[in-house]
Every structure is written in C-alpha cells, then in structure tokens.
C-alpha cells in the first residue's frame, strides 16, 4: 500500500552530498520531495553563493523538472531579537529567494537565542511571515518535539498570530499512536509537516507500524532528524526504498494492515 502523504528526504541525511546528488538519487525510491539547507549552516555557503551558487541554482531547477522531484522546504532562517528586511539577499532574504526559485512550500526557522519572551518571539516570527509572503512561502518553527506538550503549546503561541506553522518531530519508538493523534489534533492548521529521525526509523523497523496511522493525508512526512546527519551518505539510492517501506508502515492504519495481510 502506497502512502498518500507527500514524502520528503532532508539533505542533511545524505551529508556531505549536495542537493543535486540527493535529487538524482530519489526517482524510483518512493520518495517525492527534498528538504534543502540553503542558509544557516556553514557547509552550504559555497553551494549557493557567488558564481558557483548561480550554476547550482540553474542545474538544480533543471534537474527538479527532469526528475519530477519537488522541494518541500528550504531552511533555515536564524531568528534573533529582530528581523530587518534583507532586500539584497545576503542573509535570510537569500533563503526566501532560493525557496521561491525552487518552488518550495515552507521555509524553516529557529530562534538563535533563548532569552526572548513569548510576545517577542511571536513578533519576530510574524516579521518573517510578512517577508516570506511575497515569495509564497509559509514559515515553520522547527523543530517541535511531539512528546513535549509544553513546547508544542509554546510554539503554537508563537506562530498562531501570523498564521505560521511548526515542524513536528515525532520520536519513533517512544511515542504512541494515541499521543501523536492528540498532538496533531491540538496543532490543527499550525501543523506544517512531520519530521522523523532516519536513524530511529531504521532502528525501529516494523515494530513502530501504525505510529502515524491517523495523520491526515495532506500532511507531508520528512525523513531527517538532528541525530541523522550523514546517515545515508553511502548508497542513498539503495537504502531509500527500504526506508520508504518502513515509513509507509508507520502511516498504515491497523485496519488497512489487517486487510492487506488477509489478502483483501
């Protein structure tokens, strides 16, 4: 059974390979989209700046069209005490510009400082939402752990005033389907997409089947995780089909699983 949810692979999972190599690896693996780092991390700077950046931009746009791979999100914007406009695309403006050029739906953001109050964070995030609007990008606060209801509530308070959203990190192996369903319901329209740790998905195998059984089909699922940097640096194309099968199992409802196993 093929999952209806849009499935994406974050570039960090194949580190140090670049976005072009990841895009080339996806066709035929069951994964539809990629998530790109175009700012906020030192290793991506040579890829997207100057002459090399212009060449990579043109090459990636052409490759996306050829392979029918899409871009789920670009990241990331580092949020501080303020967010002045960046009309020359030297900082976060470049992230927005590249996101629009790649046809991304979301731009991810993190707060670089922890000493801002809720009202200040909501204000800064709102500025990002305003600046992202002309680029047709929706900002998402990332990551928000599903097993921390307090942090989920805090994130909603930050993004709700500007109609932004969050990236929900779902721990595989320590969360239950009921807990996931409850936090997804609590987030409502503030849920951008679900992120899964590639390392945790592989470790859990079929044991976590049904974890995302009630996730709405319009919510994308991305394979990434802060613990999975470079997890697929060797033979990504060879490992991605097996990981797609495992993620499909996470999305399969127990009734569908019973019917499939019964041969229906």
Q: Domain boundaries in the chain?
A: 14-261
Instruction: Give how far Cα 237 sits from Cα of 27, 40, 193, Å.
Output: 9, 27, 23
> At 115, is the pLDDT very low, low, confident or very high (cuts 50, 70, 90)?
confident
Residue 124 tokens, joined: 């800064």
Distance CA 137, CA 104 (A): 7
Residue 39 pLDDT: 86
Strand (E) or helix (H) holding 74: strand 70-79
More confident residue, 81 or 33: 33
> At 2, is the pLDDT very low, low, confident or very high (cuts 50, 70, 90)?
very low
Distance CA 51, CA 41 (A): 19
Distance CA 83, CA 198 (A): 32
Asked whether the predicted pLDDT for residue 87 surpasses 80, the reply is: no
Can you give the pTM of this predicted structure?
Answer: 0.94
Taking residues 51-59, what's their average pLDDT?
A: 84
Q: CATH top-level class for 14-261?
A: alpha beta
Distance CA 47, CA 55 (A): 9
> At 88, is the pLDDT very low, low, confident or very high (cuts 50, 70, 90)?
low
Looking at the chain, the number of H-run helices and the number of E-run strands are 10, 8
Distance CA 216, CA 218 (A): 6
- Residue percentage of the chain with pLDDT more than 70: 97
């Amino acid at each position: 059974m093929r999952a209806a949810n849009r499935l994406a692979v974050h570039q960090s999972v194949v580190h140090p390979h670049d976005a072009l190599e990841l895009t080339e690896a996806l066709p035929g693996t069951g994964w539809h989209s990629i998530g790109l780092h175009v700012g906020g991390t030192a290793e991506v700077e040579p890829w997207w700046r100057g002459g090399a950046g212009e060449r990579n931009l043109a090459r990636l746009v052409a490759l996306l069209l050829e392979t029918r791979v899409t871009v789920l999100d670009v990241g990331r914007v580092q949020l501080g005490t303020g967010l002045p406009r960046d009309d020359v695309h030297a900082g976060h403006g470049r992230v927005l510009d590249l996101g629009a050029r790649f046809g991304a739906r979301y731009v991810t953001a993190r707060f670089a400082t922890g000493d801002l109050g809720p009202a200040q964070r909501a204000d800064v995030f709102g500025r990002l939402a305003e600046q992202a609007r002309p680029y047709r990008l929706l900002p998402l606060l990332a990551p928000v752990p599903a097993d921390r209801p307090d942090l989920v509530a805090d994130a909603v308070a930050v993004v709700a005033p500007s109609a932004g959203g969050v990236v929900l990190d779902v721990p595989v192996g320590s969360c239950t389907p009921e807990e996931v369903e409850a936090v997804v319901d609590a987030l409502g329209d503030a849920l951008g997409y679900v992120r899964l740790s590639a390392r945790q998905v592989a470790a859990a195998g079929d044991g976590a089947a049904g974890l995302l059984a009630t996730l709405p089909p319009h919510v994308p699922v991305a394979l990434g995780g802060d613990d999975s940097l470079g997890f697929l640096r060797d033979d990504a194309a060879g490992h991605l089909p097996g990981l797609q099968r495992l993620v499909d199992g996470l999305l399969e409802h127990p009734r569908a699983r019973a019917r499939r196993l019964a041969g229906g």
